[in-house]
A and B are shown apart, each in its own frame.
Chain A
Amino acid sequence: MDDTRREIITDVSVLIGALIVLFYVIPTYIDLEQEYDLASLSPAFFPKIATWLIAGLTSLHLLIIARRKESLGPVEGEEWLSSGEQWKALACCLAIIVYFFLMKVIGFIASTILILAFLFWFQGVKKPMKVALTSIMVTAGLYLFFLYVMKVHFPKGVLFE
């Protein structure tokens, strides 16, 4: 994607987000029924300032980008991740989200062994024995350290509680 186009899409998205916060989120999720003598006493005062600033600055950035006659050129893949690598990173994000929900159901130990095994395999560790052993050892080590040294009790999961 062209860098200018990406910047415009980002700015428009941020601007829409800021307007939603200003005209929906703040009136809905801050109690504005009480009237205040001074605007600065209102709980919405500071969130509104911050959001207006976001909207204003994004508009300014959008204006600068839109008025720029020359395109910024293509996005440089060498500096960041290539398209394939970005999908790989997103797959890891998804795995971490799944891990979170899995932890709630089957508990810390089982879900951690599973996520570690998946990530090791996904990162190119192909020997099943190495994947299994490393996942189990890391999970056990961390679990025992936090349980006995830090006195942290990890979730057991709704299935085992």
Chain B
Amino acid sequence: MVENFLVGTSIILHWQHLLAIIVGSTLGLIVGTIPGLTATMAVALILPLTFDLDFVTSIMLLVGAYKGGIFGGSITAILLNTPGTPASACTVLDGYTLTKQGKGVKALKMAKYSSTLGDFCSDLVLIAVAAPLASIALKFGPPEIAMLIFFSLTIVAGVAGKSMIKGLVSGCFGLLLATVGLDPIMTTRRLSFNIVELDGGISLIPLLIGLFALSEVVYQLGKKSMTHADQFVIRHSTDPADNRVSWAEFKRSFRTIMRGTAIGTGIGIIPGIGTGIASFMSYARAKRVSKNPEKFGKGSLEGVAASESGNSAVVGATFIPLLTLGIPGDIITAVIMGAFMIQGFIPGPLLFKDHSQIIYAIFIGFIICDIVYFIIGSIAMKYAAYLSRVPRNILFPVVMLFCVVGSYAIQHSMFDIAIMIFFGILGFFMMKLEFATAPLLIAFILSPIGEIALRQSLLMSSGSLSIFVTRPIALGFLILTVVSIIGIIRSHFKRPVT
């Protein structure tokens, strides 16, 4: 392990990789800061630019954008009452109140400290847990893999949207879409409608750019009231104490940060839940155990710390299922999984066996990312208000253009643009009809592995389903799936009617 770390460090310290981290973090911060643009959109639009880059550079660029994007969202949440990304929706509660009190800079600094600390600790958990988990996962056979994917998809579908059934329908649609192309076992043409371009299946990148970027652009283009950030006036206090976080204030919030980190990390490991829920759960927990719960929502620094540590701690942890089991933890890791596959690396336990030094280089890159966005974040905080003044009536048509160009650039194919437009419009209608898009993407990515594993399992057992209950690990995943379904249904019934 020590050797892997040393070689990994020497790999990541190459100027190209460091530059990728800086560029990725900066782009992520910029996109995250602009309301209406999300970290997912940033990663999806950067992905086509990574084709000509080497593997570590491309992953670092995307991870930088992911981390930077999540933090960037909190800047406008605090200063302008407009969360740049859904992950920072909870930060608004206390962050903007602090800004109204003239303590915006203090809130931003607390957000920066808690985000970086939460993210850093989550990365340490990733580093500590990933390799041992991967060695266990290496023992999985087709029945275990099939049940693991079944379990993951159930969780993703169950928690991704308002309705579990709709989430499952969305996931099943993703499974169906992934069957377009050649059958992986018999190599027969399937559902390609005699279109040659579909013989290789639906391309992942146009699909995800359409689902997660173009659909959002169409939504934003439809919006009548395009609020400009220059309507907001940011009040700054002249008192130096209001513009910094004192050691005593940091110490008071430290336990909250650690609690938020634990919650965020735990949520990140479970596929599909994501940063938004983590920050709200962390905030709710911090309020419940706080000595001054009445201050929450009225400008509590602890509130900012809880929300930010919670959402940032998800980031590192979402890579645990991705790197050890090949299961993406959320939409962004699903996009990054696409980058792995495009570069010829299949995420999963074999990565640790075949490319351990590269994986450790990426791990160290995660830590460097934290440092980089801590530094760049300080600069971005000063210019955030200007960034959010980018006229949205210019911005979204330009983003639409990026969607088109990004889809085309991969294979120089007009058909890919058509695919992207189709999924963009589909995503727009899915948003309207409240079908979560995350299960579709994750099911689409996992479907080929799941299909092969399921069919191989049934071949092994001559078509008997008993193979899934006679093998302990497969049975364990099956029980977990049933328990999760019951848990999700119960939580839906308990949910207060608003």
Q: Which residues of A approach B to under 8 Å, CB–CB?
A: 6, 10, 14, 21, 25-26, 29-31, 38-47, 49-51, 53-54, 57-58, 60-61, 64, 80-82, 84-86, 88-90, 92-93, 96-97, 99-100, 103-104, 112, 115-116, 119-120, 122-125, 134, 138-139, 142, 146, 150-155
Contacts and interface: CB of A to CB of B under 8 A. Distances in A.
Contacts of B408: 152, 154
B285 interface: no
15 contacts: A29-B189, A30-B188, A38-B463, A40-B458, A41-B185, A46-B447, A47-B179, A49-B175, A61-B166, A86-B222, A92-B221, A96-B421, A123-B226, A139-B401, A146-B409
B433 A38 contact: no
A152 B413 CA distance: 11
B418 A142 contact: no
What is the interface of chain B mostly: helix, strand, loop, or mixed? helix
Given A81-B222, A103-B414, A112-B401, A25 B463 contact: no
Interface stretch (B251-259, B268-276, B373-381, B390-398): B390-398
Given A41-B186, A93-B425, A100-B418, A119 B409 contact: no
Interface in B293-307: none
Given A31-B188, A120-B397, A46 B463 contact: no
A46 B454 contact: yes
Given A89-B221, A123-B226, A153-B412, A43 B186 contact: yes
Nearest to A75: B432
B410 to A, nearest CB: 9
B224 A84 contact: yes
B421 A104 contact: no
Interface residues of B, number: 63
B88 to A, nearest CB: 19
Contacts of B400: 96, 119
A159 B262 CA distance: 60
Contacts of A123: 221, 226, 392-394, 396-397
A43 B183 contact: yes
B191 A29 contact: yes
Interface of B: 49, 52, 163, 165-166, 168-169, 172-173, 175-176, 179, 183, 185-186, 188-194, 214, 218-219, 221-224, 226, 391-394, 396-398, 400-402, 404-405, 408-409, 412, 414, 417-418, 421, 424-425, 428, 431-433, 447, 451, 454-455, 458-459, 462-463
Contacts of B165: 57-58, 60-61, 64
State the 6 A-B residue pairs at the shortest beta-carbon distance, nearest first.
A89-B222, A123-B393, A119-B397, A43-B183, A40-B458, A50-B176
Contacts of A31: 188-189
Contacts of B425: 93
